[in-house]
Structure 1
Amino acid sequence: MTARDQDLRTQKIWARDAPHYDGWMRRFDRLMLRGGRDRLCERAHGRVLEVAVGTGLNLPHYPKGTDLTGVDLSPDMLARARVRAADLGVDATLSEASATRLPFPDGSFDTVVCALALCCIPDDRAAVAEMHRVLAPGGTLLLIDHVISHRFAVRTLQRAIEPLMLKLADDHQLRRPLHLVREAGFSVVERERYSFGVIERLVAVKSGQE
C-alpha cells in the first residue's frame, strides 16, 4: 500500500469514527488513563506541537497561554478540535498533516506531545523520527499510549484482539514506543506504566548537542 493509499484509509477510518470518538475516550480515560492527560500536558512548555491532536481532548489540560500547534491527518477530527478550541477559548493553530511528514523545519518546537496516537499510526518509527527532527536541541517529547502489557493474561488478550483491531481501526495492541523513542536518539528521563501495564507515559529529551 502506498503512503497516499494509507493516508486515505486512515482518513476514512476517522471520518467514520469521529462522531463517536469523544464518548469512547471519556470512558477509556476514566477507566485506564486516570489523569494521564493532566500529568502529560502539564509538562508542556515553550513552542508546543501536538501530533495527532484528534478532537482536541488534550486542549483543556495544557497550561494557560501555551503556544500550541496541533496537526492531524483527519479533517473530520480536526473540525471537532477547532470547535473545542473555540469553546474553551484556547488559541491554537490546528492544521491537516501526516505524523510521518510534519510540515515544519528542523528544531521548530520546544515540546512535542503525542497522546494515544502512535498506536494508530502505521509507520510509528517514522513518526517518532519526525518528532525528534522538529524538536529543538534540549526539547522534550511527552508521550502516552496503550502498549503491550507485561502481564501474561493481559498480553494474551491483546494478542487475541490485535487482528480485529487492525482490521477495524489500524489500532495496534502490541507496540512498545519506549524502544522507538530510544532508537530515535531521545534520552528517557521519566517513565510510568499502570492500568495492568497497558498504559505507558514517557518523558524524553532530545540531546542539547545537536
Structure 2
Amino acid sequence: MRQGSDADERTRRIWEREAPRYDSWMRRFDRYMLRDGRSWVCSQARGRVLEVAVGTGLNLPFYPNGTDVTGVDLSSAMLDRARTRADEVGLKVPLVEAPATRLPFPDASFDTVVCALALCCIPDDRTAVAEMHRVLKPGGTLLLIDHVISHRFAVRLVQRLLDPLMVAFADDHQLRRPLHLVREAGFTVVRRDRYSLGMIERLAAVKDTATVL
C-alpha cells in the first residue's frame, strides 16, 4: 500500500533511512531498557498472530511453536530485513507493507495482535489501536510493549525536554500513554507492568466477546 497520509509518508521515509542501523542501536536499548520484554510479549501469543510494525523482525525468534505469524510494516526496507531474519530462524511469515492505521485484513481475522516499541512512532496511535481491535476476534488478545511517559517526576521532566527533538528527527514520541487508548478502543486490560524507571510499559488486554462486528 503506497498511498497514505503525509504523516505516514514522513514516517516511512524515516524508517527507510534508519533500517540499516536499526538492529544495532535497538539491541542496546533492549539490553538496558527493554530487558525480557520481547520474550514476555511473544510468549503469550496464541493461534493466528498479527505483529503490527514488525520492523526488522527482532521478535520473530521469540514466538512459541504453533503460532501462525503475519507481520505488517510501513517500510519496505525494514520488511526486507524481517524476511532475512525469518529465513534465518526457519519461519514462513507473510510480511505485508501497510500502515498500522489501515490494516489490510478483514474484521476478526486474528487471535492475537502484538505491537512492540511501535505505537511511540505511529503518527495516529489512536487509530492504530482501533485497527488492532477491529482485526482481533472477540476474546482475542492484544499484547503491547512500549516506552511511555514515566510516573517519576525527574524522568518525566527529561522526557518532556527530549520529546520535541525526538519527534522532529525520528517521529519518536516520549510522552504517550497507550493504556488510555487501549481502554478507549474497547479492550479490557488484564495485565499491566511498568519498569525501567517507569519508562517501559507492557500490557495484555482482551477484546470483549460481546463486541458486535
Q: How does 1:132-151 map to 2 (within 5 A)?
A: 132-151=133-152
TM-score scaled by length of structure 2: 0.96
Query: Hey, what does 1:5 align to over in structure 2?
Result: 6
Structure 1 residue 4: Cα displacement: 2.7
Taking the aligned partners of 1:76 and 1:175, their CA distance within structure 2 comes to 26
Deviation per CA, 1:142-194, whole angstroms, max 9, x where unpaired?
00000000001100000000000000011000001000000000000000000
SS at match of 1:142: strand
Q: How does 1:47-196 map to 2 (within 5 A)?
A: 47-196=48-197
More off after superposition, 6-15 vs 123-132: 6-15
More off after superposition, 13-22 vs 2-11: 2-11
SS at match of 1:133: helix
Structure 1 residue 127: Cα displacement: 0.1
Taking the aligned partners of 1:77 and 1:138, their CA distance within structure 2 comes to 31
Q: Percent identity?
A: 73
Structure 1 residue 91: Cα displacement: 1.4
Q: Which runs of 5+ in 2 are unaligned?
A: none
Structure 1 segments of 4 or more deviating over 3 A?
Answer: none
TM-score scaled by length of structure 1: 0.98
SS at match of 2:138: strand
Taking the aligned partners of 2:6 and 2:201, their CA distance within structure 1 comes to 30
Aligned residues: 209
Structure 1 residue 90: Cα displacement: 1.1
Taking the aligned partners of 1:183 and 1:4, their CA distance within structure 2 comes to 23
